[in-house]
């Protein structure tokens, strides 16, 4: 049984008049004032906490904003991108040069293979001539 039900029961029992009724009404009013004061205190505390929370959030947001501005200021992505593009171009040139060198090398190897084949043929002809000389006239 809470206090409100007790007070209502006491008032009903006292008939709403007399010394007991006045005492019960006085206690009831006193209880209401205490509850009101407690609610006001809790309201003020909640308002203070809400203000403190808002201040903390603003400070945190300001700190994040400063950090972001600092990061943007120190950002070198465009410079790095230009260097990467330059390096990509240099690598492409080297690739092209290497490809041309390999193609020339392949052509020279084919040419050397043809010369080697020619020399082998001459060597075979000479060896054959040494083994089987032609009759002299």
Residue 57: per-residue pLDDT? 92
pLDDT of res. 133: 80
Mean pLDDT of 91-96: 93
pTM of the model: 0.40
Residue ranges of the domains in the chain? 1-75, 76-137
pLDDT in tens, 98-113: 999 999 999 999 999 9
- Angle value at C-alpha 23, between 18 and 28, nearest 5 degrees: 125
User: What is the reported pLDDT for 10?
Assistant: 62
Q: What digits encode the pLDDT tens for the residues 44-71? A: 999 999 999 999 999 999 999 998 888 8
Q: Decide if pLDDT at 116 tops 90.
A: yes
pLDDT in tens, 3-43: 676 766 665 665 555 666 666 677 778 888 888 899 999 99
């Amino acid at each position: 049984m809470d206090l409100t039900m007790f007070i209502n029961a006491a008032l009903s029992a006292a008939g709403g008049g007399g010394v007991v009724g006045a005492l019960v009404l006085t206690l009831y009013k006193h209880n209401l004032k205490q509850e009101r004061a407690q609610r006001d205190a809790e309201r003020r505390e909640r308002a203070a906490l809400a203000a403190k929370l808002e201040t903390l959030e603003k400070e945190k947001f300001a700190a994040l904003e400063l950090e972001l501005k600092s990061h943007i200021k120190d950002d070198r992505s465009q410079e790095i991108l230009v260097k990467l593009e330059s390096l990509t171009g240099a690598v492409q040139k080297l690739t092209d040069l290497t490809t041309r060198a390999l193609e020339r090398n392949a052509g020279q190897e084919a040419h050397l293979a043809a010369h080697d084949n020619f020399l082998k043929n001459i060597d075979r002809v000479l060896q054959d001539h040494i083994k089987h000389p032609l009759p002299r006239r």
